[in-house]
């Protein structure tokens, strides 16, 4: 126990630098995920038949394949074809794409749960379809989507750990490096687990606060 604490303090700087990379990676891919997810979700509800099928195929295919595979495809697969990306860029793209298709589904669900009268009322006032989406549908969808979306955000925060597999120096990678250097694998991963738990609990807390902040009476997903 004592020796774990000594060791933990010794490798803490490395681990914290890894945690910082994790946070940055998470912020980037979660942002990308929400923005793309929103666009894809809107496209699945409001676009023409043609675009609908392309978007649906894209979303469904990616939802049916593992994140690790998507990462390897982008890093090794595209690399093999001459498009060499830095590990952290490849990870940002792969994880961002991965989470965006899940967010897309949540946005689609949220948009479809908005009463049709909201759109009709906006159009009746003289708003164009896109303005109605921008000012009436999306603000409501954004609030409705928060519970499921924040689950996905937390999930993705943890899932950034797959980036270690292409050599991104995030938290899990730091645990591996330090574990190998000192032959103390278990303790390194234990410290990683503790740091992840603290970070994930914090993220969950932040999401709960946001959820409270944007609460509007009468605007919840019907269950």
Partner 1 sequence: MEIIRILISELPQFAKGTLVALEVLAGLLFLGLVLGLAIALAEIFGNTVVKFFATTVRKFLWAIPQLVLLFLVFYLPFDLNPVLAAIIALGLCSSAFQSQIFRGAILSVQSGQIEAAKAMGLSKPKIIFYIVIPQMIRLSIGPWTNEFSSELKDTSLAYVVGVVEIMRQAKYIIAYTFGNTAAVYLFVGVLYFILTRIGTYFFYRLEERLWVPGFEKRS
Partner 2 sequence: MSTILEVKDLTKKFADIEVLKGISFKLKKGETLAVIGSSGSGKSTMLRCLNQLSPPDSGQVLLEGVNINAPGIDLNTVRADMGFVFQDFNLFIHLSVLDNVMFGPLRVRGMSKKEAREIAMNEIERVGMIDKIDFYPAQLSGGQQQRISIARALALRPKLILFDEPTSALDPELTGEVLSVMTGLANDGMTAIVVTHEMGFAQSVADKAIFIDQGVIVEQGVPEKMFAHPRHERTKLFLSNFVGLQ
Determine the Cα–Cα distance for residues 87 and 124; give it in Å rounded to an integer: 50
Q: What number of other Cβ atoms are within 10 A of residue 200's Cβ?
A: 14
Which x/- pattern over 73-112 shows residues binding partner 1 (rule: CB under 8 A)?
A: x--xxxxxx-------------------------------
Which alpha helices (H) appear in the chain, and where do they start and end?
2-46, 49-63, 67-72, 78-80, 87-113, 116-124, 129-132, 138-144, 146-159, 171-182, 185-213
Among 127, 165, 190, 207, the residue binding partner 2 under the rule CB under 8 A is 127
Among 2, 218, 222, 223, the residue binding partner 2 under the rule CB under 8 A is 218
Alpha-carbon dihedral sign for residues 76, 77, 82, 84: negative
Determine the Cα–Cα distance for residues 172 and 9; give it in Å rounded to an integer: 17
Compare residues 19 and 136 and give the one whose CB is closer to partner 1.
19
Among 31, 65, 112, 120, the residue binding partner 2 under the rule CB under 8 A is 120
Q: Which of residues 172-211 bind partner 1 (CB under 8 A)?
A: 172, 175-176, 179, 185-186, 189-190, 192-193, 196-197, 200-201, 204
Q: Which residues contact 186 (CB under 8 A, 6 or more apart)?
A: 179
Q: For the CB of residue 6, give the shortest distance to partner 1 in the complex, in Å.
A: 18
Q: Is 57 in the site for partner 1 (CB under 8 A)?
A: no
Q: Is 65 in the site for partner 1 (CB under 8 A)?
A: yes
Decide: helix, strand or coil at residue 173. helix
Would you tell me which residues interact with partner 1 (CB under 8 A)?
A: 61, 63-70, 72-73, 76-81, 158-159, 161-162, 164-165, 172, 175-176, 179, 185-186, 189-190, 192-193, 196-197, 200-201, 204
């Amino acid at each position: 126990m004592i020796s774990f604490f000594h060791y933990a303090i010794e490798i803490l700087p490395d681990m914290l630098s890894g945690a910082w990379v994790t946070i940055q990676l998470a912020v980037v891919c979660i942002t990308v995920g929400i923005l793309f997810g929103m666009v894809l979700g809107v496209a699945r509800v409001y676009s023409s038949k043609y675009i609908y099928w392309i978007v649906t195929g894209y979303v469904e295919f990616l939802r049916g394949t593992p994140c690790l595979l998507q990462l390897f495809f982008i890093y090794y697969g595209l690399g093999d074809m001459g498009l060499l990306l830095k590990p952290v860029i490849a990870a940002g793209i792969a994880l961002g794409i991965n989470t965006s298709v899940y967010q897309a589904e949540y946005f689609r669900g949220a948009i479809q749960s908005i009463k049709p009268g909201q759109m009709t009322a906006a159009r009746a006032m003289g708003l164009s379809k896109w303005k109605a989406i921008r000012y009436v549908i999306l603000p409501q969808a954004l609030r409705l989507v928060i519970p499921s979306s924040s689950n996905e955000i937390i999930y993705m925060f943890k899932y950034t750990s797959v980036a270690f597999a292409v050599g991104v120096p995030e938290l899990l990678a730091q645990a591996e490096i330090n574990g190998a250097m000192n032959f103390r694998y278990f303790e390194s991963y234990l410290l990683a687990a503790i740091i992840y738990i603290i970070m994930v609990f914090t993220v969950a807390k932040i999401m709960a606060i946001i959820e409270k902040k944007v609460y509007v009476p009468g605007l919840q997903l019907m269950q």
